[in-house]
Structure 1
Amino acid sequence: MTVVPVMLGEWEELSPSGDSPTRGLSFRREPAARALAADLAESGKLEIRELLNGLAIQSKSFVGTIRLGPLQVTIRPKMTGFPLVALLRYAYGLRNLFLYGQVEMETTDRPFQDLLLSQLSAEAAELLSRGLHRAYRPRHELMASPRGRVNFQRLARTGGVRQSALPCYHHLRLADCLSNQVLVAGLRFGAGLTADLELRARLRRLAAVCGENVTPIRLDYHVFARLEREANRLTRAYEPAFRLTKILYRDAGAGLGREAGGLPVPGFLFDMNRFFQAVLSRFLHENLDGFRVQDEYRLQGMFAYVPGFNPQRRQAPAPRPDFVVFRGGRVAAILDAKYRDLWENALPRDMLYQLALYALSQGGGMRAAILYPTLDPRACEAVIEVREPVHGMGRAQVILRPVVIDELAEMVSLSDPATARRRKEYARHLAFGEK
């Protein structure tokens, strides 16, 4: 089957008109691809519609590559190069290891997952150069030279010493432990996600070296839960590699059906909205001195079923802003991260309605802000007033506050005292609009 490559940016639409590569394409003979397209649209990851003259594609906040029947869709992130790498490292606590040369980092035709895989290979190489973690494992075996503790119960059951070896219980310090098993499994899993032959060979080579005398395992969410339970200071150096492995596993196959053990999907889609929220979460938590930041705080009591009119006995919905900033016991700011450049694009109605509810939940005169990314240094905040429709009195305000990506990436990559003060000032600006 001939594969038709399609390249898109975030929040971009491609129609099947003119010389579009999707003109004349359909999923008529591909029922599995049609079902996958419906699942992607329902989950909000990617919208593909079948029209009379071909396929129309609408990208969202997800980037990566996915294959659907005759179509291979690659969605590129808007931010590239240094800002993307710096913010990825900052959001997920990755080390400042060598990735690409500057020219390779600037290219926009590389799939996004290759950036994560290159960082994973660098993390694995760093761990290998330090020496892999080893853990003590119990062993029961017959030994001619006794080691550890002699198992006298087993010895008594055999009728005493009648052979040249004694049953011993001892511990060996081995590399065959969960940390290395997950590292090797992540490298092997990642090798199947890239079409870059050099990167794939590097991942497989690292997996072969790290996996010597390590029992192979299969990644799943139970393994990641066990890994989190067993984490300690001895495995702290592995944490960046584990985060990358979990991201790659979660978003491979477009993230569809993985938790339920569903069939893998040929592709990888990374949620830039979740990534942007992770960047802001760490930045606000670290730099808002004197305030408490709570992620995804539930606004209790805003909605309630009328007594006697809840036949299904359902719990009342509770809105959950991305960040609520507290000063003492009082709400100082309500913030929501939206990965859409609202300086270049109009504000969608659903975002406006959502933020208006957040603002109104705290009484008259309250404000709620959308934090959105932009590459334009001229971007400044806009304010929308929510008014009482009869008399036109202001009830609340929705603020569109830009986060200049280049400026934020520069601040999180430097550690001098002047930049530290600048980060704290910028955090107050993001939370409260202060200059």
Structure 2
Amino acid sequence: MTQVVELVEHAPATGHVLPDAVGRALAAARIVDASPDPHTPGRWLLRAGSKVGAVSVGVPGSGAPVTVRVTPKVPIARLFFLLGYSLDPKGAWRDGQVEVGEHRELLPALAHAVERQIDRALRQGLLQGYRATEESALVVRGRIREADQIRRRFGAALPVEVAYDEFTTDIPENRLLRAAVERLLRLPGVPSEVRRRLLHQRARLADTTPLHPGQPLPAWQPSRLNTRYQPALHLARAVLDGSSPEHTPGGLRIDGFLFDMNKLFEDFVTVALREALRGSELTGALQDPHHLDEEDAIRMKPDYVMYGPDGTPLAVADAKYKAEKRDGYPDADLYQMLAYCTALGLPEGHLIYAKGNAPHAAHRVRHAGIVLHQHALDLDREPAVLLADIAALSRHMGADLPV
């Protein structure tokens, strides 16, 4: 019988009896904070950080694997709004209309949402497109690859080395959907009813080429033709980016799906700040590269920089999804923001946290006159209200936007 370990994001450490190989694997992969209990042999102290989801750790010769589930503090529906908006702010995600069914755990909700989006995408049939194909054929189709014909066939007339564009369903969009479905089918904790529907979707995509482990994901570009596919493709990419089986020495296998709440919060906040500038002459740059020193030796990359029409930096911000200390926010964040402001020549900098003891704090730096702001966003608020909070924050940062 599979052992299931239930943890909560950023909750205090709890003790669990685990094989030593499993405990060491969890620690090495940084899935959770794991350390042996000094008082009880065979017992491990586990504490979840910002990674949420589920992983299965298999130990050769030990029978059933150990499944570790980490529940996020943010409600599941809200987590999917954050994810969806950061991937596609203009799509159906904007109003939080992401169907997760009755599922209250992350992985079942994710599998349900992906399957529903794929079903909607395929209702009008599989999308088709042209794919460049090169092959050896007995008839001429497309154009003859003369150099390959001479090099491979030594003057023989048949077979012919040809190249042509084939109109097919075996295109990147369908391959990504199939890869996401197959990935979810291998993960622990997908409910049987959802698994049954995923198997149906896999059958619909059976004529597409499967992706092999380690193979780069096929690239696709949004277009009018694949509009109905786009919500499903965004979710599929999230599944494939967040899932990666790992084989460790000795045959130990870790397989699962994890969201990093740090990155999810950062992506959501910065995309929402950029979207808040629409309709103005201002622009927002995400993960904007700069240098701290005059020799360009010390690199830095603020999460978000607001620029004026002439390309002058107007504001800088970093998003920080981390547990707040009892006596305030981490001081290191302030030092980092001070460096950003100094290098960019800005009088103010903004740190944005997920909830906090106070909605706003400001610190004026001695002898510099730079003001460092610390803002707190309440992720429990409804999506429309949360986006309005970020728009207000953008105005606080200097965006010339209508109230």
Residue 296 of structure 1: CA displacement?
1.5
TM-score by length of 1: 0.71
What does residue 346 of structure 1 align with? 328
Q: Which residue of 1 aligns with 2:173?
A: 179
Q: Is the 8 A contact 1:66 1:268 kept in 2?
A: yes
> Tell me, what secondary structure is at the counterpart of 1:280?
helix
Q: Does 1:90 align with 2:85?
A: yes
Q: Secondary structure at the match of 1:89?
A: helix
Contact 2:273 2:390 in 1 (8 A): no
CA offsets 1:171-204 (integer angstroms, 9 cap, x no match): 7643233332332222111111242222122111
Alignment of 1:148-227 (within 5 A): 173-195=167-189, 196-211=191-206, 213-218=207-212, 220-222=214-216, 224=217, 226-227=218-219
The answer (yes or no) to whether the contact 2:181–2:198 under 8 Å persists in 1 is: yes
CA shift for structure 1 position 380: 1.7
Q: Which residue of 1 aligns with 2:229?
A: 238
Aligned partner of 1:5 in structure 2 is 5
One-letter amino acid matched to 1:242: L
Q: Is the 8 A contact 2:365 2:371 kept in 1?
A: yes
Letter in 2 for 1:227: A
> Any conservation in 2 of the 1:191–1:203 contact (CA below 8 Å)?
yes
CA distance in 2, matches of 1:329, 1:135: 40
Q: Which residue does the alignment assign to 1:428?
A: 395
- Deviations 1:340-393, CA, capped at 9 Å, x for gaps: 254977322432332232234345x8222111122x7x8420123333xxxxx4
1:271 is matched with which residue: 253, 256, 260? 260
Question: Do the aligned partners of 2:56 and 2:68 also contact (CA within 8 Å) in 1?
Answer: yes
Aligned amino acid, residue 400 of structure 1: Q
**Aligned residue for 2:383?**
409
Letter in 2 for 1:397: V
Given that 2:242 and 2:259 are in contact with CA atoms closer than 8 Å, whether structure 1 keeps it comes out as: yes
- Letter in structure 2 aligned against 1:191: L
AA of the residue aligned to 1:355 = M
Alignment of structure 1 residues 142-153 onto 2, 5 Å: none
Q: Name structure 2 gaps, 5 residues minimum.
A: 60-64, 150-155
Is this contact kept in 2: 1:253–1:264, CA < 8 A?
A: no
- CA deviation string 1:133-185 (max 9, x = no partner): 12346698779xxx98899x99xx879xxxxxxxx998764323333233222
TM-score, scaled to structure 2: 0.76
Are 2:301 and 1:320 equivalent residues in the alignment? yes
Q: Is 2:114 the partner of 1:114?
A: no
Map 1:266-345; keep pairs closer than 5 Å: 266-288=255-277, 289-302=280-293, 316-327=297-308, 328-340=310-322, 342=324
Counterpart-to-counterpart distance in 2, 1:235 and 1:332: 37
Of residues 335, 346, 352 in structure 2, which corresponds to 1:371?
352
User: Which structure has the larger Rg over C-alpha atoms?
Assistant: 1
User: Offset at 1:323?
Assistant: 0.7
SS at match of 1:361: helix
The alignment covers a number of residue pairs equal to 370
Q: Output the amino acid matched with 1:87.
A: L
CA offset digits 1:383-407 (Å, max 9, x no partner): 23333xxxxx454332211123244
3-state DSSP of counterpart to 2:7: strand
The equivalent of 2:238 in structure 1 is: 247
Unaligned runs of 5+ in 1: 17-21, 160-167, 305-314, 388-392, 414-418
* 1:60 counterpart residue number: 49
1:46 to 9, 19, 32: 32
- Does the 8 Å CA contact 1:294/1:324 hold for their aligned counterparts? yes
Give how far 1:233 is off: 4.2
SS for the counterpart of 1:358 is helix
Contact 1:386 1:397 in 2 (8 A): yes
Change (3 A) 1:120 1:26: closer
* Cα distance in 1 between the residues matched to 2:210 and 2:67: 32
Q: Structure 1 residues 341 and 399, CA, compared in 2 at 3 Å: closer, same or farther?
A: farther
Give the distance between the partners of 1:284 and 1:253, measured in 2 at CA: 30
Structure 1 residue 208 displacement after superposition: 0.9
Question: Helix, strand or coil for the counterpart of 1:183?
Answer: helix
Identical-pair percentage:
22
Asked if the contact 2:4/2:66 (under 8 Å) is kept, the reply is: yes
Structure 1 contact 380–401 (Cα < 8 Å) conserved: yes
